[in-house]
Structure 1
């Protein structure tokens, strides 16, 4: 889509097809060979068209965005969340805090991807971009935490095997969050981002009885969340050890 009108048309088609929300690729990517993570891929007007059209369907827009300029365009246009935020600058962080934009930063993924990429022989372009963005993403994440940006837990689902997502909690704590803040990012804050706060995200009357339990005090060792001893889904125990 190369104009606001084209963006509106594509958004309508996707939502009519049953999508829950829209994700725009506001910048190049890290794991996609040949793209430049810092380069914007939509104008601010095009992203705003997606936001306005999506709002008519009572849903929202998430923006894949690594580079600072793409992040700023997306935030000013009114997206609900920034995915990745690897190359945030101080201005983009301040804008996110001002607009209440969520940050979904997969701050553990770089460790796994670099190790896996070396084992599997990923392309030099992808490996270079991973090394250029991993540490700087974590520096920006720490600044975003300090600035009060709303941070929702996210893992770039599918990049590494499902079931490993809890490894990210320790990274979130390492780079600035408290254990409680990290846990809230994966529960109540994530529910707020998705617009599901009336269904999930907390242990409250009327919400789905989805919960886990672990052995030990996660406030002292958040990595305990990688070893789940009990799972309840919708009020039914599905796993207990």
Structure 2
């Protein structure tokens, strides 16, 4: 808050208290004169006095509250993600949680809190479309399975949520968590009980028996059945429709399913489809009927193409894209959400973290191929949305992927658009978030320097506002 704002706040309070005091004095003076002239003061008059004083106090509180809602950001540069240009010396006016105007030379209301970002570059809050905020690698792959409970993950989820918000990601699509921890996390954030990004949550990952979404790699003689609320394993059209309904019943905003095999699980193949086309269509149709979008975990070529034909909104990972898959994605308007940073972290850290060699071997194959597929998708004109698989690597590092997206074909502004207007469109929230535009929620970040010259600056976000509230400000005054 600037000194001008402090001055105004003090003057407002003095002025308002003055009104109340003068009114009170006027009443007392009048009553004193009445008493002097021997007129009795009725109980009704006393009541009226207190009612009027109470009303004035309420008005005073409302004036102070209104003053605290209005903010003005003085921005040195603004990245206009809609036009793909940089705007200089802008003023962004915010009322409560909504952007009410933006422009050069706008008059700043006298009662606005001024936030000086005149030496910074201002952007819309970033969006990560593929996170797992309720967990991250701990260093004990098998031990975690047997020793940790949902409560263990629940009590640390708020830490990861705060780190994500502090990194400049004001919205995330969280695509899979056990025991509906993500629902509780989303609700606590929305209620203002904890700090974190605005969340869309998928709840249980839907997978077939023995798939990436199942618990694999153990002896059949270890025959234990996990509770239904832990995993979304289902087979066949009817069971899958029921699983979609179950997820939605307990809070899912989006439905995620495993169209094909995975890397960080113990199936043999990384590319094989794990649902039939008929099963995938059933999932997508059921979700659509309930007003939910779908996203498909798919590395392998056939799994990718089946998921696109089934009608998913996005393909997650997309490691083995071929020309036909790229053409299908363009025709259907399917987004690619490719996590092309985390290969570096997996290959450098996962052996130390106790992951099986089979998983490391699969990552060795997939990681580099995925980046090549991403480059082909960019050249082919596929719609790209930003998604990192945060939780596979430490939360708060979400911004590291920008560098790789530029390295493998996007321009800096396209990479930023992938994490703003494109991501907002994929989430179905393009009217609310994704750009600094009149009428949208005030999700705003700032950095030092120009990310169009150095995209890695987005790894060092200095200012974070979500819903009009400042959560971080490390910029020099």
TM above 0.5, one fold?
yes
Structure 2 length-normalised TM: 0.50
CA RMSD of aligned residues (A): 1.1
How far 1:148 moved relative to its partner?
0.9
Q: 1:227: which partner in 2?
A: 460
1:113 Cα deviation after fit: 0.9
Moved over 3 A (4+): none
Q: How does 1:194-209 map to 2 (within 5 A)?
A: 194-209=427-442
Partner of 1:95: 328
SS in 2 for 1:94: helix
1:126 and 2:332 equivalent?
Answer: no
Counterpart of 1:144?
377
CA contact (8 A) 2:263 2:363 kept: yes
Go from structure 1 to structure 2 and tell me whether the alpha carbon gap of 1:235 and 1:87 turns closer, same or farther (over 3 Å shift): same
Q: Tell me if structure 1 keeps the 8 A contact 2:304–2:315.
A: yes
Answer whether contact 2:351 2:357 (CA < 8 A) is retained.
Answer: no
Distance in structure 2 (CA, Å) of the matches to 1:50 and 1:140: 26
- 1:108-153 superposed Cα distances (whole Å, 9 cap, x missing partner): 0111111111333421101000000011101110010111111110
Query: Which protein is bigger by CA-based radius of gyration?
Result: 2
Equivalence for 1:165: 398
The CA distance in 2 between the partners of 1:69 and 1:180, in whole Å, is 32
Q: 2:284 — aligned with what?
A: 51
Unmatched 5+ residue regions in structure 1?
Answer: none
If the length of structure 1 is used for normalisation, what is the TM-score?
0.97
Higher relative contact order (CA 8 A, sep 6+): 2
Structure 2 segments unaligned to the other structure (5+ residues): 1-233
Distance apart, 1:98 and its partner CA: 1.2
Tell me by how many angstroms 1:18 deviates. 1.5
Cα separation, 1, equivalents of 2:433 and 2:294: 20
CA distance in 2, matches of 1:12, 1:234: 31
Q: Who is 1:29 aligned against?
A: 262
1:104 aligned onto 2:337: yes
Question: In 2, Cα distance between the equivalents of 1:226 and 1:63?
Answer: 28
Matched, 1:191 2:429: no
CA separation of 1:10 and 1:167: change in aligned 2, threshold 3 A: same
Distance 1:156 1:186 in 2: 14
Does residue 336 of structure 2 align to residue 73 of structure 1? no
Q: Is residue 9 from structure 1 mapped to residue 245 from structure 2 by the alignment?
A: no
My pick for the range that moved more, 115-124 or 207-216, is 115-124
Mapped to 2, the partners of 1:183 and 1:64 lie a distance apart of 23
14-23 vs 163-172, greater mean Cα deviation: 14-23
Q: Distance in 1 between matches of 2:427 and 2:398?
A: 18
Pick the aligned partner of 1:213 from 443, 446, 449: 446
Deviations 1:46-87 (A, max 9, x none): 111111111111111100000000000000010110000111
Shift of 1:8: 1.1
Distance in structure 1 (CA, Å) of the matches to 2:363 and 2:271: 13
Q: Deviations over 1:151-173 (max 9, x none)?
A: 11001131111110100000000
Q: Could you tell me whether the CA contact under 8 Å between 1:27 and 1:36 is conserved in 2?
A: no
Shift of 1:35: 4.3
The 2-side partners of 1:150 and 1:111 are apart by 24
Deviations 1:86-113 (A, max 9, x none): 1122211111111100110000011111
CA distance in 2, matches of 1:38, 1:238: 42
SS in 2 for 1:197: coil
